[in-house]
Amino acid sequence: MTKPALKLYLAAPRGFCAGVDRAVRIVEMAIEKWGAPVYVRHEIVHNKFVVDGLRAKGAIFVEELEECPDDRPVVFSAHGVPKSVPAEAARREMIAVDATCPLVSKVHIEMTRHHAEGRHIYLIGHAGHIEVVGSMGQLPPGAVTLVDSPADVAALPEPADRAKLAFATQTTLSVDDAAATIDALRARFPEIAGPHREDVCYATTNRQAAVKAVAPKIQALIVIGAPNSSNSLRLVEVGRRAGCAYAQLAPRASDIDWRALEGVSAVGVTAGASAPEELVNEVIDAFRARYEVEVEMVETAREDVEFKTPRILRI
C-alpha cells in the first residue's frame, strides 16, 4: 500500500537553548567530579526524557533542599531558586552548584537593583511557575506584585509612589502577551522603569518567530515538549494564533494523535527549549513510517550563544 505524501516543515531554531544545555552539562560534570549521587533541587529542566537520562547517570531529583543530605552536592535548577535556598545550603555547609540560566539571573539582578533604589516591582509571569517563585524569592515579601495580563494591570491598586515603580518578566512568556502587558503597565504608569533589554529570552523569542514563519505553510503543528514546560506551551499558543488549524504538544513521538492528522499534507515540527534534538529525530522517523515525507527547514535565526559552567566544576 502506497504511503500518502507529506511535507514536513522543520522550524529553526528549535530545541535546546544555551541555558538548558549549560544546566544539563552542570549535572553531568557534577556527577563526574563528585560521583553519584548528586542531588538536584527540582527538575533541572522541564523535560522527562532529559531528567530520566540524568537520573540513570546518578542524579537524584528532589523538590526541597531538606530532602538532600548534607554530605552530597546539590544542583539548583535552570529556573532559579529563592535566595533562601542557597543561604540554607551555605548554613548547612553543603556543596551547592547553581545551574540558574544566566538570563534568569539577569532578571534577578535587575529586580534587586530596582528594589535597592526603592521601587516596587511588577513581575509579569504565571503564578506558581518555578521561575516566578525563584524570581519573587529574591526580594522580601511585598516587594513584588505578580501580574499576568493587561486585565491584572487594570485591577492593580494605586501604588504608594507612582514615580517609584519598575517591571520585569518571566523569560519564557509569549512575546506578544508580554508586550501587551508591558504596554498596559506603561499606559497606566508612564514613569515605570523597565529592563534595558526585554526579559523574554532570545531562545523563547526565536522559537516563537520560527513558528510564526512556519504557520502559514502548514495544516498542523507538532510541538515537542513537556506539559510543564512554559516555553513549549507558548509555542502551541503561538502556532494557533498564527493561523495553524491544529497544534499539539507531544512529549514523545508516541504521544502524537495520528487520527487528528488524517488528511493533512503539510505539518510543522518544532521543539521547546528543553527538548533535545534526539526527540525531534524520533518524531521525523515516526512520520516517515506513516508517510512519504519531504522535509524542508524554515530557519528564521541562527544561534551561537554559549554560557560558561560554574568555576567550581572547572577546577
- Give the pLDDT band (50/70/90) at residue 19: very high
Considering the four listed CATH numbers 3.30.980.20, 3.40.50.300, 3.40.1010.20, 3.20.20.60, the one that applies to the domain covering 5-16+202-299 is 3.40.1010.20
User: What is the separation of C-alpha 264 from the centre of its chain, rounded to a whole number of angstroms?
Assistant: 30
> Could you tell me the three cell numbers for 231?
516555553
Rounded CA-CA distance 27/119 in Å is: 36
For residues 110-126, average pLDDT: 97
Domain locations in the chain as residue ranges: 5-16+202-299, 18-101, 102-188
Dihedral over Cα of 240, 5, 11, 43: its sign: positive
User: 102-188 in CATH: which number?
Assistant: 3.40.1010.20
pLDDT in tens, 23-43: 999 999 999 999 999 999 999
Residue 77 CB partners (closer than 8 Å, separation 6+) = 23, 40, 41, 42, 43, 44, 45, 99, 100, 130
127-162 pLDDT per residue, tens? 999 999 999 999 999 999 999 999 999 999 999 999
The whole-number pLDDT of residue 197 equals 74
Check 131, 158, 262, 282 and give the catalytic one: 131
Q: What is the pLDDT of residues 191-243, one digit of tens each?
A: 999 997 778 899 999 999 999 999 999 999 999 999 999 999 999 999 999 99
- Per the annotation, the verdict on 306 as an active-site residue is no
Range 18-101: architecture per CATH? 3-Layer(aba) Sandwich (3.40)
* CA dist., res. 242 & res. 283, Å (int): 22
Does 18-101 match 102-188 in CATH topology? no
* Cα angle for residues 77, 79, 227 (degrees, 5° grid): 100
